[in-house]
């Protein structure tokens, strides 16, 4: 049996517990059954944004006529070259990870699948491994729904959509979440005829006002509350049969079908049954406030624990574990700061904290301020006809409870509010700072002014 100080299963966010501890003398073994870098680098955040950004340039060019600015020819994209660049860049970055590990005498990289064969022992089928600390960072994979006929067809997941063998002229997307909205918007901009189908609401967990605004400015047609009955593939064409929310039977056809109906944890092939590690009903690993599993000395973080599904949250958890276990001695539990999220679709969406429906359900008193992009100097300059900043402020403490933005640069615009929440800034402090005129941040200032107005109205009552 090979013994190490640390075993890491998963070379995605798991890398947070590879190089840093190796630099303080810990012997580390890291296992990865696919390409190093995890979902974010290979099949998620990075390649998707490399696909999305050029598509935004096309949308911007098409939107110039209202100013009026005209191009002699309509903007076009060499989609094949765009995807080629994406895949070459991703492969180069992924390939560089084992090379860096090979140069470090304290790291052994194993491009193998491992599973638990007993409580603290891993096996790759040939060798066995053990360590004082084991980290499970195996992430998730696409969830494939039980739709009659689907699994016998050559459907896509996000993996194939980010590395297409041929760019399609038409595509159906099943699902109405992050992946559907992001990739569907990009494909539509590049000239693919995209149709979305989802059995629930679009962006189901978003703030109600965000969902309403998005529904009025969808980047491609999406039919919500659609019940899919079967999927067929014949002569290079997909046929999706189902019923609308009114009960009308319809058939949608397209060259490609992308399934983006959520994710499931990569825990079913880890041999957890040979350990004391417990999971919830959905298969996500249960951890305590120190990210330790029900097996002492074995930790888990990232998507596989089902708390947050972002690389930035996984990085935060990995950094916490490094400091908690190998930094200055601390028994403090993990404390998450405000956790922002963004959907890089068109229009862009960004959120942090509670949405309004959650505050109503929890009966938390709040003030609300909503300011459209158009109600600002920069909105006037950009001729914005959609988008808003919405802030929800505690009636008791006057600190921000949540913020929701839809429109240009939403992900960047959100960060001043995220910082304010982290520092527990109050309404007067958001109003007291000076905002550059006429910057896009004035839209946020105006939203806080709306909160002040609502507060004053309640006081007068």
Annotated binding-site positions: 49, 175-182, 262, 303
Q: Where are the alpha helices (DSSP H) in 222-376?
A: 311-326, 356-362
CB 51 within 8 A of CB 83: yes
Q: Find, among 193, 199, 154, 152, the residue nearest to 177 by Cα.
A: 199
| SS3 label, residue 214 | helix
Q: In 345-406, which ranges are E strands?
A: 349-353, 366-372, 388-394, 400-406
Output the CA torsion 322→325→329→334 (10° steps). Answer: 70
Bridge pairing between strands 128-136 and 298-300: parallel
Both tokens of 461, joined, read 């009552």
Which residue shows structure tokens 């640390």? 6
CA dist 461 and 447 (Å) reads 22
Contacts of 208 (CB under 8 A, 6+ apart): 355, 356, 357
Binding residues for FAD: 49, 303
Q: Which residues are catalytic?
A: 437
Axis crossing angle, helix 45-62 with helix 79-102, rounded to the nearest 10: 150
Smallest Cα–Cα separation from 307: which of 13, 7, 6?
13
Residue 177 DSSP code: S
CA 151, distance to chain mean position in Å, is: 25
Which contiguous run of DSSP H or E holds residue 51?
helix 45-62
Query: Could you tell me which of 29, 1, 27, 6 has the C-alpha nearest to residue 297?
Result: 6
Q: How far apart are the first and last CA of the chain?
A: 74
Burial 274-303 (b: 16+ CB within 10 A, else e): ebebebeeeebbebeeebbbebeebbbbbb
Q: Which residues are annotated as a binding site for NAD(+)?
A: 175-182, 262
Angle between the 178-189 and 45-62 helix axes, to the nearest 10 degrees? 50
Spatial distance between the Cα atoms of 137 and 15, rounded to a whole number of angstroms: 9
Decide: 400 and 391 in contact? Cβ < 8 Å. Answer: yes
* Helix segments in 199-339, DSSP class H: 208-216, 311-326
User: Cα(348)–Cα(213) distance, rounded to whole angstroms?
Assistant: 11
């Amino acid at each position: 049996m090979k013994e190490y100080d640390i075993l890491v299963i998963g070379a995605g966010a798991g890398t947070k517990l590879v190089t840093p501890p190796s630099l303080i003398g810990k012997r580390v073994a890291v296992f990865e059954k696919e390409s190093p870098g995890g979902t974010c680098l290979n099949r998620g955040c990075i390649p998707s944004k490399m696909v999305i950004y050029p598509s935004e340039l096309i949308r911007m060019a098409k939107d110039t006529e209202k100013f009026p600015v005209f191009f002699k020819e309509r903007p076009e994209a060499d989609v094949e070259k765009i995807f080629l660049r994406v895949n070459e860049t991703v492969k180069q970055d992924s390939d560089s990870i084992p090379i860096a590990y090979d140069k470090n005498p304290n790291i052994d990289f194993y491009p193998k699948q491992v599973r638990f064969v007993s409580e603290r022992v891993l096996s790759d089928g040939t060798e066995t491994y053990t360590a004082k600390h084991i980290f499970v960072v195996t992430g998730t994979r696409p969830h494939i729904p039980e739709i009659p006929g689907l699994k016998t067809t050559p459907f896509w997941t996000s993996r194939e959509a980010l590395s297409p063998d041929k760019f399609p002229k038409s595509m159906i997307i099943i699902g109405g979440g992050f992946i559907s909205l992001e990739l569907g918007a990009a494909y539509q901009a590049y000239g693919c005829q995209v149709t979305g189908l989802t059995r629930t609401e679009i962006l189901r967990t978003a703030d109600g006002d965000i969902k309403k605004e998005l529904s009025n400015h969808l980047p491609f047609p999406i039919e919500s509350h659609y019940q899919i009955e079967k999927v067929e593939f014949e002569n290079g064409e997909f046929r999706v049969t189902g019923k609308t929310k009114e009960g009308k039977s319809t058939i949608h056809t397209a060259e490609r079908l992308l399934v983006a109906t959520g994710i499931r944890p990569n825990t079913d092939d880890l041999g957890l049954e040979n350990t004391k590690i417990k999971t919830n009903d959905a298969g996500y690993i249960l951890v305590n406030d120190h990210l330790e599993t029900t097996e002492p000395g074995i930790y888990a973080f990232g998507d596989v624990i089902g708390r947050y599904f972002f690389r930035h949250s996984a990085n935060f958890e990995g950094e916490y574990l490094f400091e908690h276990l190998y930094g200055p001695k601390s028994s403090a539990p993990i404390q998450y700061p405000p956790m922002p999220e963004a959907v890089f679709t068109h229009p862009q969406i960004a959120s942090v904290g509670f949405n309004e429906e959650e505050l109503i359900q929890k009966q938390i008193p709040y003030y609300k301020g909503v300011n459209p992009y158009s109600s600002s100097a920069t909105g006037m300059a950009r001729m914005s006809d959609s988008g808003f900043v919405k802030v929800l402020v505690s009636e008791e403490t006057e600190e921000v409870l949540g913020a929701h933005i839809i429109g240009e640069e939403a992900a960047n615009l959100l960060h001043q509010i995220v910082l304010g929440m982290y520092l527990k800034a109050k309404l007067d402090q958001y109003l007291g700072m000076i905002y550059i005129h006429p910057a896009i941040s004035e839209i946020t200032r105006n939203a806080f002014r709306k909160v002040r107005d609502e507060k004053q109205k309640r006081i007068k009552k």
